[in-house]
Amino acid sequence: MPQYIIKHFSELTPIEVYRILQIRNEVFILEQTCYYQDIDDKDLVSYHLLVMNADELIGYARLIPKGISYEAYCSIGRVLIKKEHRMHNYGKELMQEAIAFCDATFGGTIKIGAQKYLEKFYNELGFATCGEEFLEDDIPHVPMKK
């Protein structure tokens, strides 16, 4: 059973930061062959949800306060589960943890830019599409709110 840990960037250890950047690189840059600047200043002001299986980081999400990605909304981004763990439904659990934290900590509406192929997944978690499809780093996305 995985353990869910949430820490502000200022609370992360150097090893945790390294593992976060490593897993984000593995999934978003290598697996999705999407070459973009992953590391941005949003990390510094965000909370980071780590999904741990023993000592292995198997999932992650970035929990972003209002006024950073969207002026009036908090956000959840960089959501991932390592490929070899996706069959265990951890993605849904990860998002439920992320939503609960955002509700309790930031309040209000959560807005995300979801990859289009995951639109149904986010619908099942209570998100609704709120705009037109757009390309981000050559990947189709849709804006969604909950």
51 phi and psi angles, rounded to 5 deg: -105, 110
pTM of the complete model? 0.93
Whole-number pLDDT of residue 39: 86
> pLDDT tens digits, residue range 49-65?
999 999 999 999 999 99
Domain count, the chain: 1
Residue 12, domain extent:
3-108
67 in a structural domain: yes
21 in a structural domain: yes
> pLDDT tens digits, residue range 86-132?
989 899 999 999 999 999 999 999 999 999 999 999 999 999 999 99
> pLDDT tens digits, residue range 14-27?
999 999 999 999 98
Local structure of 107: helix, strand or coil = coil
9 in a structural domain: yes
Q: What is the rounded CA–CA span in Å between residue 94 and residue 90?
A: 6
Q: Pull the structure tokens for residue 55.
A: 């000592």
Report helix, strand and coil shares of the chain as percent, to nearest 5. 40, 35, 25
Whole-number pLDDT of residue 29: 81
Q: What is the rounded CA–CA span in Å between residue 69 and residue 52?
A: 26
In sequence order, the 6+-apart residues with CB closer than 8 A to the CB of 100 are none
137 in a structural domain: no
Q: What is the CATH number of the domain that holds 43?
A: 3.40.630.30
Residues above pLDDT 70, as percent of the chain: 100
